[in-house]
Amino acid sequence: MPQPLVIGNWKMNGSLSLTSDILRAIESGIDDKIKCEVGVCVPYVYIAQAHSTIACDSRITVGAQTVSEYKSGAYTGEVSADMLAEINCHWVLVGHSERRVLFNEKDTALVLKVLAAQRAGLVPVYCVGETEADYKAGNTFQTIENQISALLDNKAVDLKQIVLAYEPVWAIGTGLTATPDEAQKVHDFIRQLIKKQNKEAAIKVRILYGGSVKPDSAESLFAQKDIDGGLIGGASLDVEAFLSICQKA
């Protein structure tokens, strides 16, 4: 069984002081009761600050929230995977629904981002999830398959060096969560899709659940066979809640 993983996605929140305060508090709160791997994906500008706040041998690993698919050049505003690797980023989120919906990121470009990240030695966290309309129309599985197939069909993607995250769009920031049973079915479906391409990777890959995960809902979600941890938005900025979620993983 893979080691559980909990990643905080701070989104566009934080400041220099908040970054130090939150990370210091998380770091001092990580004790023996927390067995999972712990990551935080902070805004680009706070990555260096995050590293200088935590200890060299910290259990917290730092990541970014998106990355350019390009290596370098005239791409104003973009940040490359090599740049992130140079500042010791470990994770990078790819295809978060806010990137897909608000910034129009499409599967083809997202797969290029995954490849760029892996080439630079980063671990991409590839996010998928259906909208409320898809969910209500019973199209969850088809949507997930569509979002994931570009990734699985590309033989250059190393499926053993990736994390998947299932985040139903209707559950993000709404206080609604998929039931543990609903989430388990989707996670199992994702694992089966991976298995068709690579059996070994299907066993190894961690599939995180995200969408309004709170200390109260974490335990029953993480108890599901194919839920290997969480991608946490709002609750990752609340130290007590985040540590409690980590403890439940």
Tell me how far, at minimum, the Cβ of 99 lies from ligand 13P, in Å. Answer: 10
CB nearer ligand 13P, residue 195 or residue 214: 214
Residue nearest to ligand 13P (CB): 233
**Calpha distance 137→157 (Å, rounded):** 31
CB nearer ligand 13P, residue 157 or residue 213: 213
Residue 102 and residue 140 in contact, taking contact as beta carbons nearer than 8 Å: no
CB nearer ligand 13P, residue 80 or residue 212: 212
Active site residue 86: no
Tell me how far, at minimum, the Cβ of 179 lies from ligand 13P, in Å. Answer: 15
Tell me how far, at minimum, the Cβ of 165 lies from ligand 13P, in Å. Answer: 7
Interface with ligand 13P (CB under 6 A): 9, 96, 167, 172-173, 210-213, 231-235
Residues near 150 by Cβ (< 8 Å), separated by ≥ 6? 107, 108, 110, 111
Q: Which DSSP string do the residues of 137-157 spell out, in sequence order?
A: TT-HHHHHHHHHHHHHH-TTS
Q: Which of 37, 69, 96, 187 is catalytic?
A: 96
Judged by DSSP in three states, 127 sits in: strand
CA 217 to chain centre: 18
Q: Which of 232, 233, 221 is nearest to 184 (CA)?
A: 221
Tell me how far, at minimum, the Cβ of 122 lies from ligand 13P, in Å. Answer: 17
**Calpha distance 237→224 (Å, rounded):** 25
Residue 4 and residue 35 in contact, taking contact as beta carbons nearer than 8 Å: yes
Tell me how far, at minimum, the Cβ of 62 lies from ligand 13P, in Å. Answer: 15
**Calpha distance 28→36 (Å, rounded):** 15
Q: Which of 69, 90, 167, 187 is catalytic?
A: 167
Tokens of 58: 């910290």
Work out the number of other CB atoms within 10 angstroms of the CB of residue 88.
12
DSSP state of 15: -
CB nearer ligand 13P, residue 9 or residue 19: 9
CB nearer ligand 13P, residue 41 or residue 194: 41
Active site residue 96: yes
**Calpha distance 218→13 (Å, rounded):** 23
Please give the positions annotated as active site: 96, 167
